[in-house]
Structure 1
Amino acid sequence: MKKAVTLIDIAKACDTSNVTVSKALAGKSGVSDALREKIKQVADEMGYVGVKSTQNRRGNTIGVLIPSKFINPNGSFYWALYNALVTRLKKENMYCIMENLDQEDEDRLMLPHCIEDKQVSALISLGQLSKNYAKLLNDNVKDLVLLDYYVPSLDLDAVVTNGYSGGYKLASYLIKMGHKKIGYIGNKFATTSIFDRYMGYVKAMIEHGYEVNEKWRIDDRDKRDFITMTFPEDDMPTAFVCNCDEAAYRAIRQLRGMGYNVPEDISIVGYDNYLISEVSDPTITTINVDADYMADLAVMTLMDRMEEPDGKPRIITIEGDLVIKDSVKRI
């Protein structure tokens, strides 16, 4: 049986993004006339058939599962991602149901209600889940996409940022600003994204011949929530790479309570470029993550999976850009 042509196949052939291909084939704005015609021609030549047209997708309900520990009542990066998903799914005439997953239910391997009650036709899992729980979802959901994490031992579709590159960029910027004693804030075993960002930080430090001191790696969370950080009583680093803006914001507040000023005494950088990095005092130098683009890719990946159930799973990685603000001092 001939392998079905997907939007990603067309995107590769046209040297463009699958989001652009989707817009072109759907007749939406944001694509030049020349590129639109090229995409349509390539799609025809490749024999592309949209198995689920917009009309056929109408009424499909997609679940979005978010661990409760990632939901902050004052807002979080995951709220931004969820809102972007709702907007993108609406454009495809699909509904969206969000369900929070408590840690107890994850530990006990309890299926989400939206799956148990067959309320959704596919699922986007937003935020790190354990390998066992991700496997449970994969065994019970026909079409599944992981967003902002991946599970190395499972062949599942996923959309993630390049945390390794981001961690490297942040540490390299601090080094460029004269810092040599640089720590890392984040429980490196909590999520794949935190671990990847940590490894990028480690690469930059080793590359420049600087010490990676385990005493300067500070846990910011346990299995359930953020925790009070335990900083060294002496021999403090001059800067910290934080795994996310929320951790950076909390570190700034805690360090201030200990008598340290940021950036005068200690420099801090974060990750995500979420709202909290702007309301922080000082504003936080960070890596910008395009939530809208991540949501677009997640929905497109899910649609491809729905069109080609037996296709090879893909992990799609997007780059983030360094955004310089006020939380770093040159020394």
Structure 2
Amino acid sequence: MAKAVRLADIGKKLNVSTVTVSKALSGQKGVSEELRAKIIQLADEMGYQKSESRKNTNEGKSFTLGIIVADRYVSENQSFYWKLYQEIARQAVSRTCFAMLEVISSEVEKRRELPKVLLEKKADGLIIMGEFERGYAEFLAEDAGVPLISLDTTGRGKSSDCVVSNNLMGGYEMTNYLFSMGHSRIGFVGKRLITTSIDDRYFGYLKSLMEHGVPWREDWVIDDRDSDGVMDNEKEFILPEDMPTAFFCNSDLAASMMYQKLVREGYDVTGDISIVGFDNYLADQFAGIGLTTYEIDTKEMAKRVVHIILHKLLNARYSTGTFVIPGRFIERESVRRIGPPVPFV
């Protein structure tokens, strides 16, 4: 079966961008008539075909939205990204559009292959949900051939548009809360330089430490996953000899796994160690203890990302840059007050 011709293939032959090719073939402004004629002629010669979903857009303004996520983020039954996808699907339907999810394997990332929704021309636009390996993100930014936007990551490629939760301020707020409950010995649970979301939450943690005059301790920064993003509380979650009194965990899942590790090691949560999380998506709290966490507004994130990608499909010049959605602090029972609030310096 012959490989489908992509916009990037046409652009490469004429040394122009995929955006220019897209404009020329869709009749949009910003392309000279001479270049437009060359692009149309080459597209015909190469056998380029529009996707069926795109052919109908000028009539009913109905689009098919491709959504991709790395398989390492949806291996759990209760994945934050499953919840986020469901919200996107609801928002797409409300806009008379269709959302199509594709889970990308690590092999596809390494081989720099386009998602099937693009290879088979089933998607008009692409939502990149969560972090991908840097090289793959850059590859998509160059070769996707359709409008795209990143969700829950600022992206590591050349895509300028993204929708994220306010991770830095969320991490800052959660750490400030622990200080307000009398804790000054606070650890962080999360692998750094794996995702931009974890890094931003870590930076919020550091900001709070600095403002309270508390020095950073390397032995209190606990990895929750390996370099491939796989979480395992046997191999990771290595506890320090000198324990803090509280941990800010970068996600609810990390908090749950940290809880299991602490219990196995003989600690009482919350008697000995307090824990806070981030996301507020786990349906079941551990051992009857409600997890204090920072809720990500998945409904608003889904609403905003669908709004932006549809506008990008209708106007090639439309861009929003980074769109930050605020979250909400939720207090439950996983933190014990051990003293008066620790003041800011």
Q: TM-score, normalised by structure 2?
A: 0.77
SS at match of 2:102: strand
Asked if 1:149 corresponds to 2:153, the answer is yes
1:194 alignment partner, one of 194, 198, 202: 198
Letter in 2 for 1:118: K
Mapped to 1, the partners of 2:58 and 2:336 lie a distance apart of 52
SS at match of 1:274: coil
Aligned counterparts, 1:104-119, within 5 A = 104-119=107-122
**Structure 1 pair 280/138, CA: closer, same or farther in 2 (3 Å)?**
farther
* CA positional deviation for 1:119: 1.3
Residue in 2 that maps onto 1:74:
77
Residue in 1 that maps onto 2:224:
220
- Deviations along 1:59-91, one digit per CA (max 9) or x if unpaired, are x21111011111034221111110001100001
Mapped to 2, the partners of 1:235 and 1:65 lie a distance apart of 42
Structure 2: runs of 5 or more not aligned = 1-55, 339-345
Mapped to 2, the partners of 1:125 and 1:152 lie a distance apart of 11
Residue in 2 that maps onto 1:329:
336
**Structure 1 pair 182/207, CA: closer, same or farther in 2 (3 Å)?**
same
Q: TM-score, normalised by structure 1?
A: 0.80
Residue in 1 that maps onto 2:280:
273
Q: Which protein is bigger by CA-based radius of gyration?
A: 2
SS at match of 2:219: helix
1:207 alignment partner, one of 211, 220, 243: 211
Letter in 2 for 1:63: G
CA RMSD of aligned residues (A): 1.8
SS at match of 2:329: strand
SS at match of 1:63: strand
* CA positional deviation for 1:233: 4.3
Mapped to 1, the partners of 2:310 and 2:75 lie a distance apart of 29
Asked if 1:282 corresponds to 2:289, the answer is yes
Q: Is the 8 A contact 1:249 1:280 kept in 2?
A: no
Mapped to 2, the partners of 1:235 and 1:321 lie a distance apart of 32
Residue in 2 that maps onto 1:243:
250
The percent identity for this pair of structures is 35
* CA positional deviation for 1:240: 0.6
SS at match of 1:249: helix
Mapped to 1, the partners of 2:186 and 2:328 lie a distance apart of 20
Mapped to 1, the partners of 2:331 and 2:58 lie a distance apart of 41
Letter in 2 for 1:226: M
Mapped to 2, the partners of 1:165 and 1:88 lie a distance apart of 26
**Structure 1 pair 277/145, CA: closer, same or farther in 2 (3 Å)?**
farther
Q: Is the 8 A contact 1:277 1:285 kept in 2?
A: no
- Deviations along 1:166-213, one digit per CA (max 9) or x if unpaired, are 000010000000001101000111100000000000000011011210
Asked if 1:171 corresponds to 2:178, the answer is no
Residue in 1 that maps onto 2:134:
131
SS at match of 1:304: helix
Q: Is the 8 A contact 1:109 1:136 kept in 2?
A: yes
Mapped to 1, the partners of 2:130 and 2:256 lie a distance apart of 20
Residue in 2 that maps onto 1:96:
99
Residue in 1 that maps onto 2:6:
none
Letter in 2 for 1:129: F
Structure 1: runs of 5 or more not aligned = 1-51
Q: Is the 8 A contact 2:141 2:158 kept in 1?
A: no
Letter in 2 for 1:197: R
Aligned counterparts, 1:254-269, within 5 A = 254-269=261-276
